[in-house]
Structure 1
């Protein structure tokens, strides 16, 4: 995966709330209008994995009671802006790569909405590494990356990607990270379209609405992947991402498999219980990511039909 060295990155789309400010690093989830996390599927601790797979929010797991309100950190934001200025920085630094992917994904959806006569409303990504409060309640880095539809933000602990490899067996790599980010923004698109609110019935299982929401977000991630090298960077008039290889795609598919409910349950509890699924099997997640990737057609992402 390669970025245009001369492209200007828009760090205003990322809010750095990390305790130590801007630092190198190398993110899964979702939220419901009620404040309950519905898409959190990847976390650093097995006990948390079990909670997320069962559809339990961070508060219910007792992980976030010490969360504190966190105001925007202007110093960290300025540091990130200086560190992640161009595509060259994205090619060499993990945190800048995520900034670039956020820029590309949002540019793609801006164009997609415009072509359909609508207006895409951007959502910021929040880098965090400590307990904090969100529009969906208290959050902890151990719950993994997630999207909160109440405040319309994506929350990412950059250390998650190392966990994805070390504890979930994913091959990792830049495009695996990009797939995760694109999945979270898929939830934002669902929120804008009203899909998240319509799908909240509290049920789990292989055919539940919760699973269909997650698989659709995977398909949306595939749509962006299909169009990544054709999505224009508004600052330069050229694509921000200049190359996506077959190995990149393979690593994206591998990451999708690593976060399937059946794979996570096997690792966490030694057995598979489809009645508790909230995200879908590894095969389903790969299938729907591939559907978006191969077709590039939003209409083909109808996991509810």
Structure 2
């Protein structure tokens, strides 16, 4: 993808090499919970974990430490910032076209534990959006894991897809969809609540596709193979693909993010239509 020449963003925070203290989440059971709920584009599940993370991370915080970033890390940061800038420009345009005002979220890069509105983020958390502080948190090590552990093709647009998905959760927060979904989950069985979570996640994939559609028109940023990279990433993080790889069996009632086929289909629907009004993933639950 073509990304050079973008403006800077006031909402980009590069905290790599900086720790805000707190205790790292350790232990097989807790890591298992974090990976299942957060590591595959955590989305709104991050907020569900807040009470648990707060209990785990009680204690005195360590002093803040910082190191100098390498030239390669600085370049990586510029790339991530360019994606953030493009999401800002696209969603401001979409919101304006629909007589709404877009509030820009912050994007935080980190390597060491960070305190967030949803608890302490560690590298095990992977990319996630925290609705409490309206920030996206990303440890770039996740993208190597996406290739080596989950079998994704990799590439720069795979990274862009993941970020666009998390920004999609911010859009849902601004539109009130996330709050409505959590209200709908109340009193439901776990299986029914999971279906609502799947709908929320698939809509974030749809919004990632809508962003791609608009950004191509605005910046002509796509290159050959970019969409394939996004689809490969979407396939790798489908609930069915992950369960088959990690536990050797598929349990549909435990899905929280959608199958590989669903994730790819909703991303492509957003990309092909560019119409936010066609992203009612909750309609399929009726």
Question: Where on the TM-score scale, by shorter chain, does this alignment land: which range?
Answer: 0.7 to 0.9
C-alpha distance in 2 between matches for 1:16 and 1:127: 5
Alpha-carbon shift at residue 93 of structure 1 (Å)? 3.1
How far does the alpha carbon of each residue in 1:137-179 deviate from its partner, in whole angstroms, 9 at most, with x for none? 2221211110011100000001111111111100010110000
1:107 aligns with 2:93: no
* TM-score calculated relative to the size of structure 1: 0.75
Structure holding more helix per residue:
2
Classify the secondary structure of the residue corresponding to 1:125. strand
Give the conservation status (yes or no) of the 8 Å contact 1:171–1:251: yes
Classify the secondary structure of the residue corresponding to 2:225. helix
Alpha-carbon shift at residue 70 of structure 1 (Å)? 9.8
Distance 1:51 1:152, change over 3 A: closer
The match for 1:279 is 257
Between 93-102 and 183-192, report the one with greater CA deviation. Answer: 93-102
Alpha-carbon shift at residue 46 of structure 1 (Å)? 6.6
Alpha-carbon shift at residue 66 of structure 1 (Å)? 6.9
* TM-score calculated relative to the size of structure 2: 0.80
- What pairs with 1:27-106 in structure 2 (closer than 5 Å)? 48-50=34-36, 52=38, 57=49, 60=52, 65=57, 93-106=75-88
Higher relative contact order (CA 8 A, sep 6+): 1
Between 127-136 and 181-190, report the one with greater CA deviation. Answer: 127-136
Matching residue within 146, 150, 167 for 2:128: 146
Classify the secondary structure of the residue corresponding to 1:9. coil
Give the conservation status (yes or no) of the 8 Å contact 1:46–1:268: no
How far does the alpha carbon of each residue in 1:254-289 deviate from its partner, in whole angstroms, 9 at most, with x for none? 110100001111111111111111000000000100
Gaps of 5+ in 2: 20-30
Classify the secondary structure of the residue corresponding to 1:218. helix
C-alpha distance in 2 between matches for 1:70 and 1:9: 35
Q: How many residues align?
A: 260
1:17 aligns with 2:4: no
Give the conservation status (yes or no) of the 8 Å contact 1:171–1:254: yes
- What pairs with 1:190-229 in structure 2 (closer than 5 Å)? 190-200=172-182, 201=185, 203-204=190-191, 208-229=195-216
C-alpha distance in 2 between matches for 1:246 and 1:206: 39
Give the conservation status (yes or no) of the 8 Å contact 2:194–2:256: no
Alpha-carbon shift at residue 51 of structure 1 (Å)? 5.3
Alpha-carbon shift at residue 193 of structure 1 (Å)? 0.4
The match for 1:29 is none
Classify the secondary structure of the residue corresponding to 1:294. helix
C-alpha distance in 1 between matches for 2:263 and 2:228: 13
Q: Give the superposed CA RMSD.
A: 3.2
Classify the secondary structure of the residue corresponding to 1:93. helix
The match for 1:254 is 232
C-alpha distance in 2 between matches for 1:227 and 1:67: 46
Alpha-carbon shift at residue 130 of structure 1 (Å)? 1.6
- What pairs with 1:108-187 in structure 2 (closer than 5 Å)? 108-187=90-169
Classify the secondary structure of the residue corresponding to 1:155. strand
